[in-house]
Amino acid sequence: MEETREKTDTQQNGKLQDLMATTSEKEFYVKAQKYWSEVPATVNGMLGGLGYINAVDVEGSTKFLRELRIKDMHKKYALDCGAGIGRVTKNLLMPLFEKVDLVEQDPTFAERAREYCTTDMGSTLGYPKRLGEIYNVGLQEFTPSSKKYDVVWSQWVLGHLTDEDLLQFFKRLKNCLTDDGLFVMKENVTSSNKTELDEADSSVTRPLKTYEKFLKQTGYRIVKMTKQPNLPKGLYPVYMIASQPLTQNE
């Protein structure tokens, strides 16, 4: 996966500062839209050509959710952020939650998700009755409904938001969680302790401590954090972080 491979120190040298100095925020988003518009609407496409990590990823996420011991009464509604074609929705969230909404900026992926999530494919079941709304909009512009979701899952997308938009997004999410609701993010993190830029897909990879700091700054407490095991060597480390708002609104 292009954005998943770790960069060397020389590759990231000053690039982030250069980008932020020369690229407008709008350009940052438009470049990402263009990148994703050229990616096939397949599981392999969602995983940057590493389709074979789907099983290990879903297994790690399923174990993480299971260990959070979510009560049955809190398995009504989930939201999948940056959902792509619904790989996470279909394989992780739909087997557990009665309804799943998706938010995805790319119109082709959003449309494909409707079919992908509801259709049986080989041994993978589709869940026609569990598909909720598909919101075709960027997370930076998305305001979810109040108190709707027991779990919000966000995977491999937050690097597409600027720091300021990410902080605002974290704040808006607090309102959409039910009491006891959980926000789970699963993202690549750098080992260098610096934010690194991927110009190809117009995204950044942040250090773990930046995500921890942003969550704290926007009023969350981290309830569980686990590193995804068994990924191929040479990729960025991937962390799952579950958190809850300290207060619903600031």
Ligand X SMILES: C[S@@+](CC[C@H](N)C(=O)[O-])C[C@H]1O[C@@H](n2cnc3c(N)ncnc32)[C@H](O)[C@@H]1O
Binding site for ligand X (CB under 6 A): 32, 36, 46, 82-84, 87-88, 104-106, 109, 138-140, 155-157, 160-161
For residue 100, list its beta bridge partners: 78, 131
Beta carbon nearer to ligand X, 157 or 197: 157
Beta carbon nearer to ligand X, 156 or 170: 156
113 neighbors 134 (Cβ within 8 angstroms): yes
Positive or negative, the CA dihedral 98, 147, 168, 189 is negative
112 marked as binding residue: no
Tokens found for residue 246: 């300290």
Could you tell me the maximum CA-CA distance found in the chain, to the nearest angstrom? 50
Q: Identify the H or E element spanning 100.
A: strand 99-103
CB of 176 to ligand X, least distance (A): 15
Cα–Cα distances (Å) from 242 to 32, 48, 138, 158, 162, in that order, read 26, 25, 22, 15, 21
DSSP assignment letter at 78: E
Beta carbon nearer to ligand X, 57 or 150: 57
- Residue number of the CB atom closest to ligand X: 84
CB of 219 to ligand X, least distance (A): 22
82 marked as binding residue: yes
DSSP 7-41: PPHHHHTTHHHHHHHHS-HHHHHHHHHHHHHTS-S
5 marked as binding residue: no
Beta carbon nearer to ligand X, 16 or 248: 16
234 marked as binding residue: no
CB of 64 to ligand X, least distance (A): 14
CB of 110 to ligand X, least distance (A): 9
Angle in degrees, 0-180, between the axes of helices 163-176 and 208-217, rounded to the nearest 10:
50
Beta carbon nearer to ligand X, 77 or 248: 77
130 marked as binding residue: no
> Residue for token digits 């708002």?
245
CB of 103 to ligand X, least distance (A): 6
Q: Which residue ranges are tagged as binding site?
A: 82, 87, 139-140, 155
Binding site as annotated, residues for S-adenosyl-L-methionine: 82, 87, 139-140, 155
